Structure 1
Amino acid sequence: MTADAPHFKIRLPRTLKAKLDQASRLSGLSITAEIVYRLEDSFASIETKMLEHRFDELDTVNREIDDLQAFIDKGDADKQAIENARTQLQSLQRWHELLIDQVSHLTMEVSKQQEQSPPKRASRK
């Protein structure tokens, strides 16, 4: 933490302040470092969860694309049903591309945060 970092006051419930004091003593970090560590960790967790959600969504879209492609390739449905399936397939393929972009962006963000974040519970003792 640098001396030129912004300062601000915050009101905390006494019980939360006591928990921060105890965590600070146990970790050997200053209370400011403890708070910064916990905040950074919480933001990293959010982006990690977003990334996991996007991977799950990508798996679902991939299965739907495979199912539609198999339906189209089978070719035993009427012409209108196959045309509808092709339209759905094109929409899913566009969504797939957007998901790939989002996964790529989130992966870079999570990697960046992991490089910048302090080591877990590094102690100054």
Structure 2
Amino acid sequence: MAVQLNHTIVAARDRDATATFLTEVLGLEPAPVYGPFRVVSLGNGVSLDVAQADGPVTAQHYAFLVSEEEFDQIWERIKERGLTYWADPYHRRPGEINTNDGGRGLYWSDPDGHNLEIITVPYGGG
């Protein structure tokens, strides 16, 4: 078997609010509770296990590969919520999307400051 990512832990100041934010914006099923986590399941079998943080949250980067249709749907939900989005990871191009590698991409932040990204083509052109 090839090595695959199975899950990663996402620290949050409010576990439930962050899990709900992720599932709603990304258009995923509600995140069930599993032990101390809210489990956000992605389409490729990987999960984001959202955990309540006891202290400050260090912002991380999470990128999601989506179809063109999913991109449009997520982008619309981002705009409907009035969230700021950027074309670049350094947040220097607000209100824009990028067309890197022949696809589309954008970045936005979750309630804990995690830098979220959607792309339609993997880096390098897929």
TM-score (norm 1): 0.25
| Structure with more of its chain in helix, by fraction | 1
More strand per residue: 2
Decide which structure has the larger Cα Rg and report it: 1
Higher RCO structure (Cα 8 Å, ≥6 apart): 1
